[in-house]
């Protein structure tokens, strides 16, 4: 698939994401308590997530007929390993959305023959749509973006996500937090991994790390960070961040220092 083909697909997918984001924004504040389910410990879902997912599946199927899907809410048959594969989180930050906190997003990625080639993250309350296609750079609302140029860990603003149902590696997480805290400018936890990665891509954060992640949490953000000039790895510095469900993303200048922290903490 050529770079021109990817750009066209990305722009059409952005339109689908925008329509979905408009729906989600229109439902903000309208979901009643009896319309909320707990899928697992601290894993909330409502009709908004499911309707948004169905909208995306319908539109993306029209863009690439025959493509398959990996989605958080499983409103469509799941099929990993297909040649053309959409990876969707229709509402990343559901708890924020349901509690009225304006930090949630729509995340869509395309994987072709195992290679992530398109990433789209829409910050719904703010109206910012971040998008990238392989070889085409990274963009936000029509403007090119890039990772930050800060070169010292002492200048770095770091994003993470708290463990919320898998606490098996919490000790490593606390150790990493301690080391970062003692050496960086500050840490933030906003509750949408997709958006955290978009903000690494546009230079608002220098570093993001988290464990216990699913493909739909980070696939789009990985494309954004890499196309914006950043680096992504697992906690050992390798490329197995999806199967190992752990991810470090950073600008190139502080990547090695950031990697050393998670390497030594998550033994």
pLDDT tens for each residue of the chain, 267 residues long: 898 999 999 999 999 999 999 999 999 888 888 888 777 665 777 899 999 999 999 999 999 999 999 998 888 888 777 899 999 999 999 999 999 999 999 999 999 999 999 999 999 999 999 999 999 999 999 999 999 999 999 999 999 998 877 788 999 999 999 999 999 999 999 999 999 999 999 999 999 999 999 999 999 999 999 999 999 999 999 999 999 999 999 999 999 999 999 999 998
Both tokens of 232, joined, read 């992504």
Per-residue pLDDT at 240 = 96
Both tokens of 7, joined, read 């750009």
Per-residue pLDDT at 165 = 75
Using DSSP bridges, classify how beta strands 157-160 and 186-188 pair: parallel, antiparallel or unpaired. Answer: parallel
Residue 8, C-beta contacts closer than 8 angstroms, at least 6 positions apart: none
Per-residue pLDDT at 34 = 80
Per-residue pLDDT at 42 = 59
Q: ∠ CA 240-178-40 to the nearest 5 degrees?
A: 55
Per-residue pLDDT at 44 = 74
Per-residue pLDDT at 234 = 98
- For tokens 């959409």, what's the residue? 86
CA 226/CA 141 separation, integer angstroms: 18
Phi, psi of 238 (to 5 degrees): -95, -170
Structural domains of the chain ordered from first start: 3-145 (3.30.540.10), 153-265 (3.40.190.80)
Strand order in the sheet with 143-145: 68-71, 84-92, 105-112, 115-123, 128-133, 138-140, 143-145
Per-residue pLDDT at 172 = 94
């Amino acid at each position: 698939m050529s770079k021109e083909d990817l750009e066209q697909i990305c722009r059409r997918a952005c339109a689908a994401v925008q329509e979905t984001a408009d729906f989600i924004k229109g439902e903000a504040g309208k979901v009643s308590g009896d319309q909320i389910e707990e899928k697992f410990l601290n894993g909330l879902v409502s009709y908004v997530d499911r309707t948004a997912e169905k909208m995306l599946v319908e539109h993306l199927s029209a863009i690439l007929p025959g493509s398959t899907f990996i989605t958080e809410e499983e409103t469509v048959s799941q099929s990993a390993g297909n040649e053309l594969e959409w990876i969707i989180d229709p509402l990343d930050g559901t708890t924020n959305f349901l509690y009225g906190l304006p930090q949630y997003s729509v995340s869509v990625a395309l994987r072709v023959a195992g290679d992530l080639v398109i990433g789209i993250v829409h910050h719904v309350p703010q109206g910012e749509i971040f998008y990238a296609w392989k070889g085409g750079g990274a963009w936000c609302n029509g403007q090119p973006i890039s990772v930050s140029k800060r070169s010292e860990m002492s200048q770095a603003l770091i994003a993470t996500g708290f463990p919320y149902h898998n606490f098996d590696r919490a000790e490593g997480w606390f150790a990493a937090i301690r080391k970062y805290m003692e050496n960086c400018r500050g840490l933030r936890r906003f509750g949408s991994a997709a958006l955290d990665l978009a903000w690494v891509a546009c230079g608002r954060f220098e570093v993001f790390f988290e464990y216990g992640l699913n493909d739909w949490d980070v696939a789009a953000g990985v494309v954004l960070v890499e196309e914006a000039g950043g680096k992504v790895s697992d906690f050992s510095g390798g490329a197995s961040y999806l199967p190992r469900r752990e991810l470090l993303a950073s600008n190139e200048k502080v990547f090695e220092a950031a990697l050393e922290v998670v390497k030594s903490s998550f033994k």
